[in-house]
C-alpha cells in the first residue's frame, strides 16, 4: 500500500547562516529536496513543503521535483528560470516508518547570489489520515513553528468578489467545525487569488440549501433561484463534504462553472477546487504543463488512486494568467456592454488558442458565445471540438443545450439518442443482454423565466416559449396548469399533449394587468418526464397606471 507522506515539523533550532538578501524580500520560493537511505521520498517532501509555503504562508511556491532537477546547481538554475527569489534546499533522513518521523536539514538560499539566508534543522513527523477521519485535520501539523521566521505574505487586492456561500442542507447535522472549515477554505482561496491577481473573496452570507436531485449542470441552473443573491457577485454552492485535500473518483464532475457567470457548484469544501472553479468563471481553461498547475482538467496532481495526498501549491499557467488579467474587473453575471473592449480582448484570446487548444477552450469560449447570443458560432466551436474528441462529456451537454436554444430540436434529440444507444450497447456488453436500459422522455423548456416588463393597465402583452422532448420515448403532458391572474394562457393552449422524441410544442402566455404594481406567478407543466415530473416557468410583470 502506498503511504502518502504528511510531515509535521518540530522546531529544533534556527540560525542565520550568512548575510545576503533579506528574508522579507522573498515572495517566491522553489523547493528542492534530497533524502538519505530511507523509505521517505524527495517527492513527498517537496510536495508537502511547497504546498505549505503556497497555501499557508502565501508564497508563490514551486516544487522542483516536478521538473526532475538532479543537483543543487540544476535546482538553482530552474528556480531562477521560474522567477523564484528564494531556493529552499531540504535533506531528510532517518525515517522511522511506524513512528513516521524523519530528521531534516533546511537551508534557504538567495537564488540570485547563491548565498544562504537561513539554516535550521527540524524533526518531521508523518501522521496518517484516511476517510472518514480526514475531516478537519490540519494537514500541515506544526509547520507554522518550523517556518515561524518566514512572514505570512500579504498582497493588495483592488478587486473584490462578494460571495454568497451555500452548503448542502444535508450537512446541517455536522458540527460547528464544518462551517468554520468551509470559511477557512474560502479564506485560503482568497489569499491565493489576492497573491496571483489582486482579487479578494469576501463572504457576505453563509446559508444552507436543498439542491434538486439532478446532475451538477441542473444544480447550477437551480442555484440561480437561491434567495439572497442580490448582494453578492458570485454564488458558491458546496455540495460537501469538508476535505483538507481533493478527491477525484474518476466518474463524477468535481465542480462546474461557466465564464463570467455568477454561480459555481463544487462537490467538496476545498480551497483548491474553489480556486479552480473561480478560475473558470474568470475565463481560465483546462491546461496541463510541466510543474503542475491548478487548472489541470482532473487536478491529477491533487489525488492519487482515490487516496488523499498533501495539498500542492496553487499555480496558474501563462495562458490563463493572460486571460484572467483581462477578466478580473468584468462584473460577473451582468451585462457586458460597458466592458465591450475587454470582452473583445477575451474573445480574441480564445480565438488565438483555437488552432492549438480547441478541446480545452471549447466549453469556455463556446459557453461565452452562447451567453452573448452568438449561439450559431458556439455550435460551430462545440462541433469542431467533438470532431477531435467525441467523448468530451461537458462539450456534448453544452452542444445539446445550444441546439435546443435555437430550436434545432431534432439534432439535439439525435445526440441524446446516440448517447442512449451507446449506453445500451455498453450495458448489453457487460450483462450479456440480461439487462436493458429503458427508453425515457426528457422535457426541455426554452425558458424557465418570462419577464413581461412594464405593461399599461388594461393592455396586454404576450410571450412564447417552447416545450421540447429530448428523450427517446414519447413525452406525455397530462396537465398544463394555468397561472393566476393577471397572467393567462392563450385560448389555443391544449389541456394535455403528446410530444414525440425530437419534436416540440409552442405555448403562448399573456399578461394583462388590471391595476398597477408588480405581479409574479408560476406556470406548471406535469408530464411523464424522467426525473422532472413537474416543470415550472416563472412569470413576472409590472402593471403601470
Q: Which triple of cell numbers denotes residue 234?
A: 458570485
Q: Where are the beta strands (DSSP E) in 47-158?
A: 60-63, 86-96, 101-110, 116-125
What is the three-class DSSP state of 511?
strand
Using an 8 Å Cβ cutoff, are 324 and 279 in contact?
yes
Least trusted range by pLDDT, from 56-70, 241-255, 425-439, 464-478: 425-439
Q: Which triple of cell numbers denotes residue 528?
A: 411523464
Q: What is the pLDDT of residues 183-226, one digit of tens each?
A: 888 998 999 999 999 999 999 999 988 888 777 888 888 888 88
* Domains identified in the chain and CATH numbers: 2-125 (3.40.50), 151-318 (3.40.390.10), 443-543 (2.60.40.10)
Give dist(CA 175, CA 135) in Å, integer: 11
Q: Which triple of cell numbers denotes residue 224?
A: 440561480
Return the DSSP state at 508.
Answer: E
pLDDT confidence of residue 440? 78
Least trusted range by pLDDT, from 90-94, 141-145, 172-176, 424-428: 424-428
pLDDT confidence of residue 344? 93
Average pLDDT over residues 525-534: 82
Going by pLDDT thresholds of 50, 70 and 90, the confidence category of residue 450 is: confident
pTM of the model: 0.73
- The residues, ordered by sequence, that sit 6+ positions from 59 with a Cβ below 8 Å of its Cβ are 26, 27, 28, 29, 53, 150, 153
Longest dimension (CA), the chain: 88
Q: Which triple of cell numbers denotes residue 415?
A: 445526440
Average pLDDT over residues 476-486: 87
Average pLDDT over residues 3-8: 35
Q: Kindly list the distances between the CA atom of residue 310 and the CA atoms of 34, 129, 134, 424, 446, in Å, as whole numbers in the listed order.
A: 18, 11, 12, 40, 45
Task: State the chain's mean pLDDT as an integer.
Answer: 81
Nearest one of 187, 157, 243, 195 to 61, comparing CA atoms: 195
Q: What is the pLDDT of residues 370-416, one digit of tens each?
A: 988 899 999 999 999 999 988 888 898 899 989 988 888 888 888 88
pLDDT exceeds cutoff 60 at 138: no
Least trusted range by pLDDT, from 187-196, 273-282, 305-314, 343-352: 305-314
Cα-Cα-Cα-Cα dihedral of 137, 139, 145, 150, to 10°? -130
pLDDT exceeds cutoff 50 at 11: no
* Residue with the three cell numbers 405581479: 519
3-state helix, strand, coil in the chain (%, to 5): 30, 30, 40
Angle at 407 between CA 331 and CA 461, to 5 degrees: 75
Amino acid at each position: 500500500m502506498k503511504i502518502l507522506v504528511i510531515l509535521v515539523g518540530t522546531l529544533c533550532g534556527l540560525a542565520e547562516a550568512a548575510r545576503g538578501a533579506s528574508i522579507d524580500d522573498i515572495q517566491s520560493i522553489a523547493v528542492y529536496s534530497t533524502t538519505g537511505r530511507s523509505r521517505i521520498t524527495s517527492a513527498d517532501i517537496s510536495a508537502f513543503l511547497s504546498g505549505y509555503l503556497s497555501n499557508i504562508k502565501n508564497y508563490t511556491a514551486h516544487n522542483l521535483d516536478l521538473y526532475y532537477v538532479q543537483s543543487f546547481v540544476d535546482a538553482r538554475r530552474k528556480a531562477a528560470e521560474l522567477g523564484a527569489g528564494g531556493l529552499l534546499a531540504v535533506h531528510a533522513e532517518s525515517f522511522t516508518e511506524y513512528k513516521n518521523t524523519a530528521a531534516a536539514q533546511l537551508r534557504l538560499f538567495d537564488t540570485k547570489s547563491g548565498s544562504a539566508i537561513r539554516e535550521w534543522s527540524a524533526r518531521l513527523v508523518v501522521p496518517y489520515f484516511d476517510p472518514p477521519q480526514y475531516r478537519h485535520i490540519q494537514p500541515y501539523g506544526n509547520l507554522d513553528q518550523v517556518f515561524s521566521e518566514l512572514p505570512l505574505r500579504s498582497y493588495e487586492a483592488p478587486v473584490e468578489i462578494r460571495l454568497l456561500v451555500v452548503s448542502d442542507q444535508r450537512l446541517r447535522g455536522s458540527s460547528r467545525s464544518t462551517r468554520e472549515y468551509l470559511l477557512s477554505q474560502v479564506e485560503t482561496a482568497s489569499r491565493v487569488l489576492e497573491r496571483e491577481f489582486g482579487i479578494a473573496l469576501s463572504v457576505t452570507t453563509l446559508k444552507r440549501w436543498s439542491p434538486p436531485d439532478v446532475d451538477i449542470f441542473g444544480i447550477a441552473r437551480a442555484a440561480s433561484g437561491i434567495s439572497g443573491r442580490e448582494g453578492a457577485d458570485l454564488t458558491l454552492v458546496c455540495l460537501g463534504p469538508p476535505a483538507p485535500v481533493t478527491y477525484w473518483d474518476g466518474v463524477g464532475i468535481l465542480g462546474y462553472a461557466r465564464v463570467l457567470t455568477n454561480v459555481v457548484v463544487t462537490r467538496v469544501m476545498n480551497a483548491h477546487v474553489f480556486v479552480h472553479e473561480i478560475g473558470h468563471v474568470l475565463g481560465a481553461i483546462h491546461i496541463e504543463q510541466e510543474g503542475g498547475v491548478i487548472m489541470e482538467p482532473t487536478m491529477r496532481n491533487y489525488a492519487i488512486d482515490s487516496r488523499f495526498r498533501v495539498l500542492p501549491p496553487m499555480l496558474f499557467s501563462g495562458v490563463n494568467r493572460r486571460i484572467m488579467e483581462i477578466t478580473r474587473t468584468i462584473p460577473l453575471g451582468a451585462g457586458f456592454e460597458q466592458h465591450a473592449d475587454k470582452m473583445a480582448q477575451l474573445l480574441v484570446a480564445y480565438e488565438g488558442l483555437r488552432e492549438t487548444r480547441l478541446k480545452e477552450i471549447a466549453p469556455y469560449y463556446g459557453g461565452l458565445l452562447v451567453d452573448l447570443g452568438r449561439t450559431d458560432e458556439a455550435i460551430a466551436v462545440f462541433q469542431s471540438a467533438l470532431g477531435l474528441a467525441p467523448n468530451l462529456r461537458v462539450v456534448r451537454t453544452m452542444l445539446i443545450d445550444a441546439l435546443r436554444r435555437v430550436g434545432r430540436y431534432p439534432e439535439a434529440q439525435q445526440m441524446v439518442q446516440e448517447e442512449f444507444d451507446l449506453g445500451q450497447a455498453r450495458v448489453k456488453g457487460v450483462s450479456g443482454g440480461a439487462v436493458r436500459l429503458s427508453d425515457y422522455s426528457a422535457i426541455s423548456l426554452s425558458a424557465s423565466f418570462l419577464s413581461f416588463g412594464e405593461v399599461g393597465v388594461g393592455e396586454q402583452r404576450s410571450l412564447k416559449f417552447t416545450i421540447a422532448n429530448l428523450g427517446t420515448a414519447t413525452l406525455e403532458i397530462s396537465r398544463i396548469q394555468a397561472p393566476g391572474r393577471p397572467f393567462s394562457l392563450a385560448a389555443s393552449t391544449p389541456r394535455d399533449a403528446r410530444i414525440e422524441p425530437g419534436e416540440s410544442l409552442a405555448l403562448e402566455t399573456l399578461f394583462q394587468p388590471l391595476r398597477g404594481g408588480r405581479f409574479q406567478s408560476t406556470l406548471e407543466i406535469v408530464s411523464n418526464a424522467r426525473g422532472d415530473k413537474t416543470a415550472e416557468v416563472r412569470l413576472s410583470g409590472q402593471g403601470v397606471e
